[in-house]
Structure 1
Amino acid sequence: MMVTLDSSISFLIYITAVSSAAAGVTEAFKSVIPFLATDYEAKENCWEDQYHAARLMHYKRFFNLVISVLAAGVIFGMLGLDPALILTGSESAYVKNSWQLGTWMWGIVAVFGSPFFASLLKILESFKQSVDSNLPPNRPRRKVSGTRE
């Protein structure tokens, strides 16, 4: 088993798709649970109110992330595909028991690593396009003139 450009792109597509689906589940929860969608501000300009508002905002962010991680873990478990097997280019990426701890770890990786994975996916896709088109790599060019005798 080897990691190839195609298997890396497949892996990143799978991870970002699950992350996007988990974000959609989180948005659905926000529409049902008002606490998750409300922005909290201090009523008065005093330390106690500011502290209370900040604490509520931190709770809101925490619960939104927990919902995203759980949703991503459930999605990975339901699909039954191991992202590591996709990355290594195995013949089959299906796993018999997809409800193990590793599945939930991939949920954490997908949720917290999704911005990085999305950027990396764009880079690898553009690199693949340049490799497939057989164009030479872009090199900086500068016009120069020499002294003429």
Structure 2
Amino acid sequence: MVSVDSSIAFLIYVTAVSSAAAGVTEACKSVIPFLATDYEPKEDCWEDVNHAARLTHYKRFFNLLISVVSAGVIFGLIGLDPALILTGAEVVYVDDSWEVGTWLWGIVAVFGSPFFASVLKIMESFKQNASHNQPPNRPRRKVTGPRE
């Protein structure tokens, strides 16, 4: 069953793998110059502008591809299934961690990382507020406008 704790554990795991994949991509950028180069047109003509845009799109594609592959490899090496973490299963390790589902979690982790990071902050603050069991903050004195 999905609980707040299992959701937080899932989000932490997926965002950690996404951050690790981003680190691998940055390391690849330092080794492969094509991945870190900013392309600008040589002259102000359509051919040069289109060529620079095409090279920029190739660069973005390969950066995302490296991130997805490295996230899939990280999921495969660790051998944990994020879906089992989310549902709160007792055993979250999988027998065959190199199946297609592992690679799909790599795609989810890379493309969903900003969303997962935001949801993680919301869930942690919700858990913190719920654990205190305090009523919401209320003003201590009444505020009124000037009377005329």
Given the two structures, how large is their TM-score scaled by the length of structure 2? Answer: 0.93
Deviation at 1:141, TM superposition (A): 9.4
Query: RMSD of the TM alignment (CA)?
Result: 1.6
1:140–1:84 Cα change, 3 Å: farther
Structure 1 partner of 2:2 = 3
Deviation at 1:143, TM superposition (A): 3.8
Structure 2 partner of 1:103 = 102
Structure 1 Cα separation of the partners of residues 134 and 38 of structure 2: 50
Query: Structure 2 stretches of 5 or more lacking a match?
Result: none
Structure 1 Cα separation of the partners of residues 47 and 138 of structure 2: 58
Question: What are the superposed Cα offsets for residues 13-71 of structure 1, whole Å, 9 maximum, x if unpaired?
Answer: 00000000000000000000000000000000000000000000000000000000000
Structure 2 partner of 1:119 = 118
Question: What are the superposed Cα offsets for residues 70-120 of structure 1, whole Å, 9 maximum, x if unpaired?
Answer: 000000000000000000000010000000000000000000000000000
The count of residues paired between Structure 1 and Structure 2 equals 144
Structure 2 partner of 1:94 = 93
The runs of at least 4 consecutive aligned structure 1 residues that moved more than 4 Å come to: 138-142
Structure 2 partner of 1:74 = 73
Query: Structure 1 stretches of 5 or more lacking a match?
Result: none
Structure 2 partner of 1:28 = 27
